[in-house]
A and B are shown apart, each in its own frame.
Chain A
Amino acid sequence: MNVIDPRIHQALDGELAAEAVPADLRRTVAQLAAAADLLAAVPGPAVSVESRVMAAIRRPAPSPARRAMRWLVTPRAIILRVRPAWSVAFAAVVAALTLFTADHEGPVLAEHEGIAQFVGRFPEAQSVHAVGTFNDWRPGSIALEDQDHDGVWRATVVLPAGTYEYMFVVDGERWVPDHLAERLVADEFGRENSIVIVRPARR
């Protein structure tokens, strides 16, 4: 590797004024700056993607069920992390879900629908919402409640059966994954989303 005098890097990083660079190094600084300038001008006619993007945007988004199906059939790497403490907590959630679905006084569900229960502990929160692929990541539609003011927020909702990615939005601005979720997956923005699988109600 051709190691460069550190002052050249400093000059190109804006940490050293051009006039402070010795004359014998200025040529190299200019050479690299000129190479960057060449790359900054992409030759050929200007291209715009606006019309195709706007056309895609104007098309109705696929339904959650269709997106869930596409997610299920598309091969992808999934990062699966399970900690023993959380798996115990998860088992408790599953048990609660089982009891809930066994309750004949619960909501009447269509065959393709199931129940999802969201639970999170946010002692200082004023509001908690669940957002995800089931509501197009728009906050507001699924509000969790802390009825006994113990800092544990809960919501039970009916959703079409399927697999969804979601996060909690705390106080309208803090996005946090649900670490009690069955699974966590890395999304393309470098974050972790939680996974909830809603199974169809048993008839």
Chain B
Amino acid sequence: MDVRGTPPDAEVVALVLAGDAEAFGFVIRRYEAGLLRFATRMLGSRDAAADAVAESFVRAYRHLASCREPARLRTWLYRIVTNRCKSHLVRRSVADVPLDDAPPVADPADTEADLERADQLLLVERALADLSPDKREAFVLKHVEGLSYEEMAAVTGERIPTLKMRVHRAREALLKVLEDHT
């Protein structure tokens, strides 16, 4: 959905806090794609990710008055989703983590390049699932969501050198898997 031309975050937050609950729809449409992608990569399941993101949005709405910097709403939302994903991961063992709810099925129309891309994706997803949650979180925030280290520090509450080290370790683990399969 096109959200261009919608008011800036601080304005939307003010509208919601003034009683216009429907204005929260702007927040959802603006950020749900990124949050769903992040949660999917953290949890390895689109269904679990949708649950985590939906729960996070409801919590964000209920606690919106405690968002101290409405202009940095995005970082605040990532923080809530990050915590939600961690709770999900704690509740289930790593062995239960599915790679995806519906594994890709080869389509006769797929080209060789498509199949190779699907194989590569499966490989990378498995490597990502094998990382510790902390390293997976750091890698996805950095390379999939494109957050700066400063934003990552605001999301995770960790120090920048710690986050850099986690991203570096994650890259090394991923590279090893990729090279082993080349």
* Chain A interface residues (CB < 8 Å from chain B): 1-4, 8-9, 12-13, 28, 31-36, 38-40, 42-44, 46-50, 52-54, 56-58, 61, 131, 136-139, 167, 173, 175, 188-190
Interface size for chain B: under 10, 10 to 19, 20 to 34, or 35 or more residues? 35 or more
Known: A32-B178, A42-B41, A190-B83; 19 extra A-B contacts, CB below 8 A, are: A1-B173, A4-B168, A4-B172, A4-B175, A8-B171, A9-B164, A31-B175, A35-B178, A36-B143, A44-B46, A49-B53, A54-B25, A57-B21, A137-B62, A167-B66, A175-B68, A188-B84, A188-B87, A189-B76
B12 lies within 8 A of chain A by Cβ: no
Q: Are A39 and B172 interface neighbours, CB within 8 A?
A: no
Min CB–CB distance A147 → chain B (angstroms): 27
A-B contact pairs, 13 of them (CB 8 A): A1-B173, A31-B178, A36-B144, A39-B128, A42-B41, A47-B50, A54-B25, A131-B65, A173-B68, A175-B66, A189-B63, A189-B76, A190-B83
Q: Are A50 and B173 interface neighbours, CB within 8 A?
A: no
- Minimal Cβ-Cβ distance residue in A for B125: A39
Give the docked Cα–Cα distance between A61 and B58 (Å).
11
- Quick one: which of B46-79 are within 8 Å of A by CB? 46, 50, 53-54, 57-59, 61-63, 65-66, 68, 76, 79
* Count, A-B residue pairs, CB within 8 A: 130
Q: Is the interface of B mostly helix, strand, loop or mixed?
A: helix
Which chain A residues border B117 with CB–CB below 8 Å? Answer: 38
* Chain B interface residues (CB < 8 Å from chain A): 17, 21-22, 24-25, 28-29, 32-33, 36-37, 40-41, 46, 50, 53-54, 57-59, 61-63, 65-66, 68, 76, 79-80, 83-84, 87, 100, 102, 104, 117, 120-121, 124-125, 128, 139-140, 143-144, 149, 157, 164, 167-169, 171-176, 178-179
